[in-house]
Structure 1
């Protein structure tokens, strides 16, 4: 894996309706992410946080059932430019959230550098809604759809191009809460989804082997977008949209260890850490542990 790593924080909480997730980047830093990576001999530059402007009214629904569209779009434009710049300098972008709407900007900045970017979406949710299908108007449920070119142009056209990714290059891992319209879109586009049913039956080792082999064969770079609500809320309580019956910490460590050994990742983000809902920063500490495994930390 690239030894030069750029950390970018995005204190975004406008893509959803529960306060606190804007403190996620600070919580992950406090849990020692920089020190963990430096101990693994990575060269770290922390670029600080992307500025996020506040709306006049937190509850305003703007432009076609999209909550805080302007602010979310502006921050993602800035994030995309920063990620683009770091990749141009041959650095590995590690983005810390913040709610999952920030993946719109992350993917926009990454995908322009690849012809066939692969995406591992490690999440309880599909995040495949748009303003037309979302029951809430929360943009953190839309980043994967927006990256496919589905939705409002202020989300789909970040950095002036769309789509960012192809549906056949997406692998969703850990899904257990999908809206009917999201299920329809998955079927229509032929996306690969490993729900908890498949993970329970087949085991994480086989799931990750299949994922790695598939993406190695068809992509020229792979981005990991890891939402901490992919893990079971008993183990990761500090998330805004917990769904019971999720992935274990040990399963997630195995997934990260296998991705590290495969050496296919070109970027990553860890999102949806909400310290207000957490227990003694447990979820941020868990995120840092997963980052360690992803970047090659081993017991022996």
Structure 2
């Protein structure tokens, strides 16, 4: 398969800091080599320094989304499947825009569905899914080329176990499909029933149980092991029309043994094999 790996090495507006070091660590950990050995044609594109914004989190975050959207459009024009390696989850809004995705599967231990009115910490990345669904930051999101908010009925949230009270309340009121990893194979069919035709798959790597795979400082106990996440991602590829993939939130400072890059490589190899068999 022809792939475009789009590298967005930003964390809260800062380039190559914190989670922003994760994309490069995945690449230096042998991701391209593993994909190439498995028969894939891989091109790597990096989002460069966003100039003139002085690392302001909100402005830079949405500027990165815009740059990612443009790279995704270019990748699809070249017949390449887009894979975004991101520091922050918000970057997925750019991928969704570039792909003209009408549905989304969101693997994450967090809900990422706070808004500026509900967030206890004002953390922009905790509003990433809410932004993709058009619940907040609408003017900024609508400035991303090709962005259209995803209908919550065509959203599947997988293994979100660390939720703020307002997030729990909102999720009770929205028609978002909730699932644990083990149920995903059955529940994903609800996306088709809701009319999904172009689905983006977002995997925040802290969905993993940190006792099995430690990816950042926010990871809390519980959650699936890498084998379960890999199988669920492959199931998504076989079940719904996946048009792009984002992997986010890896901080190599919390991966002393370097276990995350090979685990991500195995995940991608199996996911792409499932995608190719459709």
The 8 Å contact of residues 66 and 145 in structure 2, kept in 1 or not, is answered as no
User: Are 1:216 and 2:208 an aligned pair?
Assistant: no
The 8 Å contact of residues 11 and 25 in structure 1, kept in 2 or not, is answered as yes
Residue deviations 1:98-122 (CA, integer Å, cap 9, x gap): 12121122222222xx5xx221101
- Which residue is 2:132 aligned to? 147
RMSD of equivalent CA atoms: 2.4
* Unmatched 5+ stretches in structure 1: 59-66
Distance in 1, Cα, partners of 2:52 & 2:26 = 22
Correspondence for 1:239 among 212, 216, 227: 216
Distance in 2, Cα, partners of 1:37 & 1:74 = 29
Distance in 1, Cα, partners of 2:52 & 2:247 = 23
Task: Classify 1:92/1:162 alpha carbon distance in 2 versus 1 (closer, same or farther; 3 Å).
Answer: closer
| Cα displacement (A) at 1:233 | 0.9
Task: Please identify, of 272-281 and 223-232, the stretch whose mean Cα deviation from structure 2 is larger.
Answer: 272-281
Task: Classify 1:47/1:70 alpha carbon distance in 2 versus 1 (closer, same or farther; 3 Å).
Answer: same
User: Are 1:88 and 2:65 an aligned pair?
Assistant: no
Residue deviations 1:34-56 (CA, integer Å, cap 9, x gap): 12222222221111234345965
User: Are 1:132 and 2:108 an aligned pair?
Assistant: no
Q: How does the TM-score come out when normalised to structure 1? A: 0.82
Residue deviations 1:73-108 (CA, integer Å, cap 9, x gap): 211111111112222333211000212121122222
The 8 Å contact of residues 124 and 176 in structure 1, kept in 2 or not, is answered as yes
Q: Equivalent residue of 1:254, what SS?
A: helix
- Which residue is 1:259 aligned to? 236
Distance in 1, Cα, partners of 2:63 & 2:132 = 16
Task: Please identify, of 134-143 and 253-262, the stretch whose mean Cα deviation from structure 2 is larger.
Answer: 253-262
- Which residue is 1:61 aligned to? none
Correspondence for 1:167 among 141, 152, 167: 152
The 8 Å contact of residues 8 and 50 in structure 1, kept in 2 or not, is answered as no
Residue deviations 1:210-253 (CA, integer Å, cap 9, x gap): 31x22334211111100011001112212142121111112112
The 8 Å contact of residues 15 and 139 in structure 1, kept in 2 or not, is answered as no
Task: Classify 1:20/1:48 alpha carbon distance in 2 versus 1 (closer, same or farther; 3 Å).
Answer: same
Task: State how 1:269-284 maps to structure 2 within 5 Å.
Answer: 269-284=246-261
How many aligned positions are there? 272
Task: State how 1:44-59 maps to structure 2 within 5 Å.
Answer: 44-52=42-50, 56=54
| Cα displacement (A) at 1:127 | 0.6
The 8 Å contact of residues 24 and 284 in structure 1, kept in 2 or not, is answered as no
| Cα displacement (A) at 1:126 | 1.1
Q: How does the TM-score come out when normalised to structure 2? A: 0.88
